Amino acid sequence: MIYLKTPEEIELIRKACVLASRSLGEMAKWVTPGTTTHKIDSIAKEFILDNGARPACLGYGGFPGAVCIEVNETVVHGFPSTYCLREGDIVGLDVVVELDGFNGDMCYTFPVGDVDEGVLKLMRTTKESLYKGIDACREGHRIGDVANAVQTYVERHGYSVVREMCGHGIGRKMHEDPEVPNYGRRGTGPLIKNGMVIAIEPMVNLGSRNIVIESDGWTCRTRDRKPSAHYEHTVAVSGGETHILTTFDYVKEVLGDRYI
Ligand code: MF3
Ligand code: CO
């Protein structure tokens, strides 16, 4: 069941999204060799709580962190840990903020120090594929148009799209209908209507698309252990227009010329 949102509800979701965006900016300051992923998690947790909101991942289905942390071959749902970031790593930080009963969800994959040019290219392409998906997310189109736009762009560049994990509707709950896959056929799937709010989140692998879930029941990694990148925005369709409710501007401010 897809819950269409009123303009007022979309404004509340936007507030949650802005806070999520600011929290990602705070985390960005700590993405450097030598920082533990635990530290990044605690920075985000404190920032979100201090701003009167809740890190929605914490405790969700038993998830132990405030943020999902995705180092190198981790695709999604990595736990914060004592792992120290190292020069050449990439790290995806996926954060969901619940503010006044509404959720905002986003993810950015960061380079840690100097990163291999081939991996930087994977990251750029993944981020660009997110914007291809957003571009296809228009009133009157279908979810399959979004999915196909992402898949086509990614595969044209020689990378592969993870099938098992999808984007999703979002609102009062972090995960609502519809599912928003990153692969599919144009003209298929639910119709995109005014009031629809979705998280679009391509997860793109350098090597094969296959994944493995670790024995902790959460951590999803590439089977071939090659790197994977992940970018995500929360997007609303309202008044015939598509609005990106989250922003990478705060990350950009921190990274300066290292911004991808
Ligand atoms: N953006 C992630 C998702 O949509 C957030 C997951 S939070 C978790 O799956 F608690 F489920 F890990
Ligand atoms: Co999401």
pLDDT tens, position by position, 89-124: 999 999 999 999 999 999 999 999 999 999 999 999
Which stretches of the chain score pLDDT less than 70?
none
Q: Does residue 94 line the site of ligand 1, with CB under 6 A? A: yes
CA distance linking residue 260 with residue 255, whole number of Å: 9
* Burial of 256: CB neighbours in 10 Å, binned 0-12, 13-18, 19+: exposed
Q: What is the CA(107)–ligand 2 centre distance, in A?
A: 8
Can you tell me which atom of ligand 1 is nearest the CA of 199?
4
The predicted pLDDT at position 43 comes to 98
Q: Does residue 60 line the site of ligand 1, with CB under 6 A? A: yes
Share of the chain above pLDDT 70, in %: 100
The predicted pLDDT at position 6 comes to 98
Q: Does residue 41 line the site of ligand 1, with CB under 6 A? A: no
If you take atom 4 of ligand 1, which residue's CA is the nearest one? Answer: 167
Q: Does residue 230 line the site of ligand 1, with CB under 6 A? A: no
Can you tell me which atom of ligand 1 is nearest the CA of 57?
10
pTM above 0.85, yes or no: yes
Which tokens is 225 given?
């252990």
Q: How far is CA 178 from CA 17, 96, 144, 196, in A?
A: 19, 18, 11, 9
3-state secondary structure of 124: helix
CA distance linking residue 121 with residue 7, whole number of Å: 37
